[in-house]
Chains A and B, each alone.
Chain A
Amino acid sequence: MAQVSGRQVFAERTAVLLITIVMLLPVVWLITTAYKPSNQIFSIPPRLDFQPTLDQFRNIFGYFDVVSLLRSSVAISLGTTVLSLLLGVPSGYALARSRSRYATGFAYFFLAIRMVPAIASLIPFYLMMRDIGLLGSWWAVVIINTMLNCAFVTWMMFSYFRALPRDMEEAALTDGCTQLGAFFKVAVPAARSGIIACVLFCVMFSWNDFLYPMFLTTLDSKPLSVALLTAYGTKDITWGSLGALAHFSTIPIVLMALFLNRYFVQGATNGVQ
Chain B
Amino acid sequence: MSQTSSTGVQPRTQTPRLAWLSRPRSFTDSRRFFLFFMAAPAVLYVLVVGVWPLAQGFWYSFFRYNLIRPQRTKFIGLDNYIAIFEDRGARQAIVNTFQFTLTSVGLQLFFGFCLALLLWRDSRFNRIALAFLLIPATITPLVVGLIYKALLGADYGLIGYYLANAGIGPRTGLLTDAGTALWVLILIDCWEWTPLMALILLAGLKSLPTDVLEASRADGATAWQRFTLIVLPLMLPSIFLALVLRTMDAFRVFDSVFVTTGGGPNDATNTLMVLAVKEGLQFFNIGYASAIGNITILFIACMAAVLLLVVRRADVRINGK
Contacts and interface: CB of A to CB of B under 8 A. Distances in A.
A228 interface: yes
B49 A146 contact: yes
B276 A87 contact: no
B142 A123 contact: no
Contacts of A95: 39
B146 to A, nearest CB: 5
Nearest to A41: B156
Contacts of A30: 143, 147
A74 B1 CA distance: 63
Given A174-B25, A228-B146, A272-B203, A45 B162 contact: yes
Interface stretch (B7-15, B84-92, B102-110, B126-134): B126-134
B207 A119 contact: no
Interface residues of B, number: 99
B262 to A, nearest CB: 11
A166 to B, nearest CB: 8
A80 interface: no
A23 B133 contact: yes
A123 B60 contact: yes
Interface in B234-286: 238, 241, 248, 251-252, 254-255, 259, 272-273, 276-277, 280-281, 286
Contact of A124 (B22, B60, B146, B241): B60
B42 interface: yes
Nearest to B194: A23
A27 B119 CA distance: 22
Contacts of B57: 120-121, 123-124
A228 B140 contact: yes
A170 B26 contact: yes
A115 B49 contact: no
A44 B146 CA distance: 20
A234 interface: no
B224 interface: no
Interface stretch (B29-37, B72-80, B173-181, B313-321): B29-37
A257 B300 contact: no
B224 to A, nearest CB: 15
Chain B interface mostly: helix
Contacts of B143: 30, 228, 242, 246, 249-250
Contacts of B42: 87-88, 90-91, 110, 150-151, 154
B138 A119 contact: no
B46 A113 contact: yes
Nearest to A253: B138
B92 to A, nearest CB: 18
A204 to B, nearest CB: 6
A123 B121 contact: no
B296 interface: yes
B191 interface: yes
A122 interface: yes
A266 to B, nearest CB: 9
Chain A interface mostly: helix
**Among A9, A12, A29: residue with most chain B CB under 10 A:** A12
A98 B132 contact: no
Contacts of A29: 147, 151, 158
Given A23-B136, A45-B162, A272-B204, A13 B125 contact: yes
A132 interface: no
A154 B297 CA distance: 21
A40 B115 CA distance: 36
A20 interface: yes
A143 interface: yes
Given A15-B118, A91-B38, A272-B241, A117 B203 contact: no
B56 interface: yes
Given A27-B136, A41-B156, A147-B46, A94 B36 contact: yes
Given A19-B133, A95-B39, A258-B135, 16 more contacts: A27-B139, A27-B147, A29-B151, A46-B158, A90-B39, A106-B39, A119-B277, A120-B294, A121-B54, A123-B289, A146-B49, A151-B46, A151-B50, A232-B149, A250-B140, A265-B199
Interface of B: 22, 25-27, 30-32, 34-36, 38-43, 45-46, 49-54, 56-57, 60, 115, 118-121, 125-126, 129-143, 146-151, 155-158, 161-162, 165, 191, 195-196, 199-200, 203-204, 206-207, 210, 213-214, 217, 238, 241, 248, 251-252, 254-255, 259, 272-273, 276-277, 280-281, 286, 289-290, 292-294, 296-297, 300, 304
The 5 closest A-B CB pairs, nearest first, are A120-B293, A91-B42, A94-B38, A269-B203, A124-B53
